[in-house]
Structure 1
Amino acid sequence: MMPRLEYKDDKKSKQSIWLFLDQSLQLHKAPVLHSLCIKLGSQCPVDVEVGKWVAKAVDRFVRKLKFKLLWSADPISLPKSLYTCETLVKLKISDKVLTDFPSSPACLPSLKKLNLINVVYKDDASLIRFLVIDTPAVKYIHLTNCSKQYCLIKNMPCLDRAYISVHTYADDKLPRSLSSVLFLELDLADEMLLRCSAINFSRLTELIICPDESDWLEPLMLLLGKSPKLKKLSVDYGPTENPEDLPLSWNEPSSVPGCLSSHLEIFEWVEKYGGRVEELGFVTYILANSKCLKRATISLRSAFNLEQKQKVMKELDSIPRVSKSSQLLLK
């Protein structure tokens, strides 16, 4: 009768928990299943019918479903009923899961949080059907796909937070569906950043850019021009192995983005600032034009020796700041 169930394979164990999971779900009698979390590792037999567990959860009006499959077999399909579940509020599926969207319209009217991590699409038709999945209540979306496929969702008027890591894109519907977001993190290459820079982000207050093999400075400036209410801007080189090898070009814009003149309060360079001419030009521009800036934090590349570090810190410390009350923190 427990309303919350969680099953996870132990990495250190040679046996999978799947049999206990299967038998306990057969005995489960609660009329409503609040949450079901399943994580199966490589120990799980490849002939297990895992989809029936999800089907049972949907039949029990599940509100939260997390499913991660790390076995060595081919990806498995989840039941069609999942894509029309009226009670589902949180959905997270990842790895060896085959997203096989039904031919009839998919609708998740109660969904507020969606995580799709490295999922696999059955075919092009299924992928296209995902373009029109209806999620009117969703507030958080996290899309990651290292296989360089793409996925799109429409109708997200309540979206507050989005984390997007998609490298190959064939349509601009996802960027447009993000236009109402408040918090946005982009871990992307040139193409997606360029698409986003053409969208009006009228509500965006916090933006994190994680450059990945991209000439990101000029598209970012275009994006800032489309984000009039931005209060916090972060550049995070953390996921980038060799940021010094990224192609960069910097040309000072002819007009100052409105967010710099009236809203931006925090600027962060989270990791691996290298002091390149283009990087210095960008930071100089931000500090010279952000009239409401309260704090700027810049973390230098850890590979710098003491002399290099002192030189770069001296350059940064000498940059004039239009906001006289702002703090500059160098790490």
Structure 2
Amino acid sequence: MKTGSMVHKLEFDSHNQELQKFSVNVVRFLLSHKAPVVESFHFKVEGPLRSIDIGIWTGILSARHLRELELNLSRGFTYRLSVSLLCSNTLETLKLQGPLLVDVSSPVCMKSLRTLHLVKVTYKDDKSVGNLLSSFPNLEHLIVHRGRHKSLVTFNIVAPFLKTLSIVGLISGVKGGGYVINAPSLKYLDIKRLSCYQFCLIENASELVGANIRGVYNTANEMILESLKSVKRLSLGLTPLHQHAFTKTPMEVGDHWNQSKNVPHCLLSHLETFVWTRYDWERQEELQVGKYILMNARRLKRATFSTRPIGSNELDKLEERCKMLKELDCLSRASDSCHFVFESE
């Protein structure tokens, strides 16, 4: 705990302390704090602290023009989101981590909030998510890291001024759940870990410049890629075509790639640099995808295929790899200026 009465940045950690006594000390400190403006309040709690204590702290801080609030709550306990937390006219950044239950029956209005982090937070229902996000009409940066809970099916993100969005998904216990994103000002999108049971529908992303997609399974892959028409920088970490999510052994679903009927506009007119790491030259469908990229990317300047090196006990595969490399290198490419690179990781 920082003890100066005019300190503008406050940090509290309940580690190895008796919680109720610690809570009383925090309240006393806040009441005696003289600074008219508190820049940030960071709190980490380990143990069963009462939700009302958090409500008292945030209520006091709301009168001190608090700009940044970070709550890191311990696992194994459930806390309720205090209404006083959503009544600040000055809060610009809100970071919530841990089992905090969001139960918002109707939206409020926090026009100053620009950055919101929701990490392992739980929600009463879909409506609570909508009401929470509707409370921040000028939100620009959002991080959503889903926890394991069954009550929430669809996470609706409606944010007209959102610029960056990061989603880390986990199986929620409900098949068919997922995300619906309506963010017409979105510039950068980062999505990780969506299972085969989840979907991700991006309704409006005409301003999207960069996207990073990792650990997303087949169903979600198709929906996401259809929405990335304007992307200029795209990083993909797609799951193998022969695997399902969370199975102990691979399940074969076919060794072919279903080519899209329409070539994406971003591939035809925007893609300039292409890097494929962990390229499996032994899989025929990966060869077909590589050909598809090279034959359609008209503005491509550099294409790099990176694969694992051949071990001393695999020299019999060297000739086959060279044949595959020559097939790609001699391919008639859409871009005459494309520099082709093949390397070992």
Q: What is the TM-score when the length of structure 2 is the normalising length?
A: 0.74
Contact 2:31 2:60 in 1 (8 A): no
Q: Which runs of 5+ in 2 are unaligned?
A: 1-5, 240-244
The CA distance in 2 between the partners of 1:174 and 1:215, in whole Å, is 14
Q: CA deviation at 1:269?
A: 4.1
% identity of equivalent residues: 30
Aligned residues: 313
1:72-111 CA deviation, whole Å, 9 max, x = no partner? 33x112321222322121111011212122x343222122
Task: Find the counterpart in structure 2 of residue 69 from structure 1.
Answer: 73
2:16 paired with 1:3: no
Contact 2:178 2:200 in 1 (8 A): no
2:219 paired with 1:207: no
Gap change, CA 1:316 and 1:61, over 3 Å in 2: farther
Gap change, CA 1:5 and 1:268, over 3 Å in 2: farther
Gap change, CA 1:259 and 1:144, over 3 Å in 2: same
Structure (1/2) with the larger strand percentage: 2
More displaced 10-residue stretch of structure 1: 207-216 or 244-253: 244-253
Alignment of 1:286-301 (within 5 A): 286-300=293-307
Q: CA deviation at 1:36?
A: 0.9
The CA distance in 1 between the partners of 2:147 and 2:308, in whole Å, is 26
Counterpart of 2:30 (choices 21, 25, 28) is 25
Task: Find the counterpart in structure 2 of residue 85 from structure 1.
Answer: 88
Gap change, CA 1:90 and 1:273, over 3 Å in 2: farther
The CA distance in 1 between the partners of 2:237 and 2:297, in whole Å, is 19
Q: CA deviation at 1:24?
A: 2.8
The CA distance in 1 between the partners of 2:326 and 2:61, in whole Å, is 58
When Rg is computed on C-alpha atoms for both structures, the one with the higher figure is: 2
- Describe the SS at the equivalent of 2:165: strand
| 1:282 maps to amino acid | V
Contact 2:55 2:85 in 1 (8 A): no
Alignment of 1:36-75 (within 5 A): 36-41=41-46, 44-47=47-50, 49-73=53-77, 75=78
Gap change, CA 1:173 and 1:163, over 3 Å in 2: closer
The CA distance in 2 between the partners of 1:146 and 1:316, in whole Å, is 43
Q: CA deviation at 1:163?
A: 1.0
Q: What is the TM-score when the length of structure 1 is the normalising length?
A: 0.77
Alignment of 1:261-300 (within 5 A): 261-269=268-276, 272-275=278-281, 276-300=283-307
Gap change, CA 1:61 and 1:216, over 3 Å in 2: same
Contact 1:99 1:120 in 2 (8 A): yes
The CA distance in 1 between the partners of 2:43 and 2:286, in whole Å, is 44
Contact 1:51 1:77 in 2 (8 A): no
